[in-house]
Each structure stands twice: as C-alpha cells, then as structure tokens.
Structure 1
C-alpha cells in the first residue's frame, strides 16, 4: 500500500511539474490576442464607412473587390478555427518543438510580397453584399479572440501536420491567422489607391 501511495505521489508531482513547465507562457496568449484584436480593428477602420460602389469596385475584371477580399478573410477565419480545434484534440508533442520551424518562418511567409494562390475552398463567392462581409468576418474573429483569451491549452505543444516535415504548433497557426489580415490589408489599400476607385463614402 505504501508503495502504491509513493507511485501515486510521484505521478502527481510529475503532472504538476509538467503544468509548471507550460511552454505557451502568459506573454504568448497576450501577444496572440493583441494581434487578433489589432488586425480586426484595422480592418474595421479601413472598411466600415465604404459605399456600396467602393465595396464592389474591381481594379480589373480578374481582380477581387474589397468585398471579396473581406469575404476571403472570413472564410479563412472558419478554416483557422477548425485547425485550432483539431490541433487541440491531438496528443501534445513537445518533442517536435526542437525540430519545427521558428515563429519567424510563419510570419515571414504570410507577410512576403510574393503572390499567394488561394485554394478553391477559400475563394470568395461574391454573393455577400458590401458591409455584410465585414459583419461575417468580425463575428468569427470575435469568437477566435474569446477562445484564445480563455483557453488553458498549451498552444506550443499542440501540433498539426505531424506526419510531414513541417509540423506547426497552434501558436504558429495564430500567427498565420492575424498575419493573413495584415497581408490583405495591403491589398485593400492598393485597391483604394487605384485612380478609378470611387471617392464617395457611405452616408450615415
């Protein structure tokens, strides 16, 4: 009986020790939530007063309008949420930390100037009108912020793509999530700088 108690005590100390060694420290969720909020707010400021003509202006027939860019961002919010959910259901893999790519790899990739090709499942439909795209995005982003702000999961040991050469942890998925908005903010500002972009804004 004493031996059993001793084993149980060691096990509890091990569990408590692993909790004390949580790798996703307080600075990480703060950084994540701050950037999720920052990019949400910047997108709102950039688009909330657009007129219908401004929302749906195309630089060229094959270029997305601002409405389509924001719809694309909203679709990716759904995809990021699924990745976070699936990653958190997996077995923690702290052993992958030493060999996985650093955070800077993901930030540099999402912010590079090179054009990225959107997969078919995240291409905008164009069916959503104007500001409804912003409402769509904002509701999803607020859900993401709420989860990131309250989760007790250690996002640096929860990985996806573990069978590949490039597994990434959930903190790095968050870098993609908020960085994706930063990336497309450049696109929105480019659209607004076009000489034929409508000048009138929405009237309240």
Structure 2
C-alpha cells in the first residue's frame, strides 16, 4: 500500500512539473486573441479590393498589397517552422537570462513601421500561390493551424528559443512575433491605400 501511495505521489509531482512548463492561461489567451485580431484586421482591410488596387505599386521598388499578403502567408509557414524546430531541442531554463526583451517589447519592435528591414530571400513574394485568392486562402489555412497549435500545445515554449538578429527570444515570443508581423504589414497596406495615385 505504501508503495502505491509513493507511486501516486511521484505521478502527481511529475504532473505538476509538466503543468508548470506549459503556457499559463493568460499567456495562451493573449496569443490567441492577438492572432485572431491580426487575421481579422488583414482580411477586413483587403476584402473587396480590385485587381488594380491589389497590384498597385507606388514605384518599382515598392511592394503591392498582393505582395504584402503573399509575404505574410509565406512568413506564417516559415516562422512557425522555426518555432517547431526550436522545440526539437531540449528545454533549457538556464538560457532565460539571455532573453532580454519582454513580450510587449517584442510586439513593439515588430509592429513598428519606423525602421524598414529588407526581408530574407525565402520570405520574398514571388507570386508563389498563383492568384490573390489562393494567397489569402493559404494564409487563413496556415493561421487556423497555428491558432490550433497555440490552443492545444503543452510544449514548454518559454524555455525553448529562437535567435534573431536583434537577440534571443523564447518560442512563445516567437508566436507573438509572427502575429505582430501580420500587423506590421497590415499597416503597410494602409500606407499603400493612402498613397497618392492609389486606384479608387
């Protein structure tokens, strides 16, 4: 009987430890809400735009709205891929001190349009989906899958990490970065729509 009690105690301790390494309810709720909000804003803003509006460019170096949305759709896959790769490594609480930015700072950094950054080649739009409708469909499918991951994951996202040019972030912050990235380019789309010469 004593052996059974000890085994049960061990199971409870293990379960408690595992629970502590998963997202807390507020973290999960925040990420889900932000992912839903940025998706809805993008879809609402671009709904009903004509082909001329979707493909309008201020100049030869600028992206069109269609290209911005394609970039978001590509990033949705690439960024979650980076997060999934980070989870293949062992969790490492000892590296927490190397994460210098808060969640709010991560969102502030990626959402700000003040500093322009040239994207990496694998994130560049190349009409890879064939049409704007297919591009938006792909983005929404990927966002749905990523939302489901955030809703259900039991992974220790806080003790897995991603290395970015601006520093080390944890994998939960990688989720916020992905969502904030959508807002960044939604704001870019607003800039395009307010530019001189944008088709009515």
TM-score (norm 2): 0.87
2:38 is matched with which residue?
A: 39
| Counterpart-to-counterpart distance in 2, 1:32 and 1:181 | 13
Larger displacement relative to structure 2 (32-41 or 85-94): 85-94
In structure 2, the CA distance between the partners of 1:13 and 1:188, relative to structure 1 (3 Å rule), is: same
How many equivalent residue pairs? 197
| Counterpart-to-counterpart distance in 1, 2:141 and 2:166 | 34
2:197 is matched with which residue?
A: 196
1:81 is matched with which residue?
A: 80
Please, which of 142, 145, 148 is the counterpart of residue 150 of structure 2?
A: 148
Question: Is the Cα–Cα contact under 8 Å of residues 111 and 184 in structure 2 kept in the other structure?
Answer: yes
RMSD: 2.7
Q: Which ranges of structure 1 fall in alignment gaps of 5 or more residues? A: 200-204
1:67 is matched with which residue?
A: 66
| Counterpart-to-counterpart distance in 1, 2:161 and 2:127 | 33
1:202 is matched with which residue?
A: none
Question: Is the Cα–Cα contact under 8 Å of residues 80 and 175 in structure 2 kept in the other structure?
Answer: no
1:175 is matched with which residue?
A: 176
Give the secondary structure class of the aligned counterpart of 1:167. Answer: strand
| Counterpart-to-counterpart distance in 2, 1:131 and 1:55 | 11
Question: Is the Cα–Cα contact under 8 Å of residues 23 and 157 in structure 1 kept in the other structure?
Answer: no
Q: CA deviation at 1:90?
A: 1.6
In structure 2, the CA distance between the partners of 1:194 and 1:166, relative to structure 1 (3 Å rule), is: closer
Q: CA deviation at 1:5?
A: 8.5
2:109 is matched with which residue?
A: 109
| Counterpart-to-counterpart distance in 2, 1:129 and 1:6 | 62
Question: Is the Cα–Cα contact under 8 Å of residues 54 and 64 in structure 2 kept in the other structure?
Answer: yes
Larger displacement relative to structure 2 (99-108 or 86-95): 99-108
| Counterpart-to-counterpart distance in 1, 2:93 and 2:10 | 19
Question: Is the Cα–Cα contact under 8 Å of residues 68 and 125 in structure 2 kept in the other structure?
Answer: yes
Matched, 1:138 2:140: yes
Matched, 1:160 2:162: yes
